[in-house]
Amino acid sequence: MLKNKKTTMSILAAAVFTALFCLFFSGAGFAQQRGGQAAGAPERIVRPMVALDPITLRAEGISIRLWGIKMAQTRETPLELRAMEFIDRTIGGEPVSCRIEKWDLEMPTARCSVHTNEDLALALLQQGFAIVDRNQTYGSAFASHYEEAQHNARQRRAGVWEFVLEDSRYKLIPNWLDPYMSSLVPMSLIFGPLLGLALISLAVRQGFRNMVKRQETEFQETREKEEALLRRETLVLAAALEGELSENKNKLQAFLTIYQNLLSELQRSGEEVDYQKQTSGLIHKHTALNRTVFDGNISKLSTLDMQLASTLSKLYTHIHAEPEYITIDSKMPYYDVVEMVKKAIDNSEMLLPQIDYALEQLEMTMQKHLEIPGVRGKQQAKAPPPPSGPVAQKPPAVEAQGQAAAPDNA
């Protein structure tokens, strides 16, 4: 029994040892087989491929990531579509040759070139559809070429660089000011308010200057309008007075003609004259003249020249709108009647030169305000002295004659 038991134990130990030995060698063989597949993987793949995204190609049974580049991140979806379209157009349906740079169980990384021997990653960099992956290119022989292609795309604002440079345009502060911002900010906080106050002061000063200038212009325009209105009123008044005085002059001349003929008839007939037949029983102490314009515009005489206003005022004191008569009967002495007629004639003749003088001054006033050429010369010339009579300066003899005639006129 004991011998059989030992034999059974020996058989079991030999079986366990044999099983462990087989398991060890089978695991080593499997590992050797897997290592041989990795070591025996191809270094280059040449197959027709299509683009999955801007940095990934798809061949039959395998996906390959392009070496040395990475996807340009942007919010613009059309950029990714343009990149894929560019890859497909560059491949053109021909086989792509990819040199594997790094094997990966999921996706190998490779440098791929198309049938024209153009590096696909380099072409994507030149078009701005990808950017350099410096983790992969650092220290490699292709680093400088890839960086140069990316720089050229940036200069041309191709692909993604169009959006990058477009965003940088809207920066409030230009890039060349960035190194100086640490000193510019405190200075702007200190001198900014002072500069603002200075600008406000200049603006206020300029505003006041413009306001004063505008007020002066408006005042000048208002004064010119008032002067033009005053000049027009003066012209209208002078013309009206001239017309009235001309009419009165004609009346006086007609009156003088009638009464001079009456005086001649009285002197020729002598004392036997029939008064009722020659004078109709009435003799005018003075003729009735018009003074409507003067009476209606007394308040506007100040618009005329001071001397002219004074001349007109004194002249119109001897112009009466209502006639005054003296009744003559057959018992009145002949010489008294002749003397009354002479006095009426003298009073009328005394008014004529005064009216002529006033008319001349009115004409000069109208020419002055109308600015007729040659008026200044007339104004500068010495004005003729006013005639003697009831207006302005009266000679002593005329003054005495007027005082003597005053009782009779009364």
Residues 284-321 pLDDT 10s = 777 788 888 888 888 888 888 888 888 888 888 888 88
Alpha-helical runs (H) found in 156-180: 160-169
Q: Spell out the alpha helix ranges (H) of 270-280.
A: 275-279
Q: Which residues contact 321 (CB under 8 A, 6 or more apart)?
A: 288, 289, 290, 291, 292
Nearest C-alpha neighbor of 396 from the set 407, 388, 404? 388
The Cα–Cα gap between 247 and 319 comes to 12
Domains of the chain in start order, with CATH, are 44-171 (2.40.50.90), 230-409 (no CATH)
Range with the largest mean pLDDT of 26-35, 185-194, 325-334:
185-194
- pLDDT category, 33, cuts 50, 70, 90? very low
Query: Residue 317: its pLDDT value, please?
Result: 86
Q: Give the mean model confidence (pLDDT) for residues 153-181.
A: 73
CA 408/CA 410 separation, integer angstroms: 5
Collapsed DSSP state (helix, strand, coil) of residue 286: strand
For residue 295, the model assigns a pLDDT of 86
> Which residues share a beta bridge with 56?
53, 65
Whether the CB-CB separation of 159 and 72 falls below 8 Å is answered with: yes
Least Cα distance to 131 among 163, 89, 160 occurs for 160
Predicted local distance difference test score (pLDDT) of residue 112 = 92
Range from 14-18, 295-299, 380-384, 388-392 that averages highest in pLDDT: 295-299
Give per-residue pLDDT as tens, 275-285. 555 555 677 77
Q: What is the pTM of this model?
A: 0.41
103's tokens? 């094997």
Mean pLDDT of the chain: 76
pLDDT confidence band for 148 (50 / 70 / 90): very high
Per-residue tokens: 92: 């053109």
Residue for token pair 């021997």: 117
Instruction: Give, in degrees to the nearest 5, the angle at Cα 155 between 150 and 157.
Output: 90
How does pLDDT run across 75-95, given as a tens digit for each residue?
666 777 788 888 888 888 888
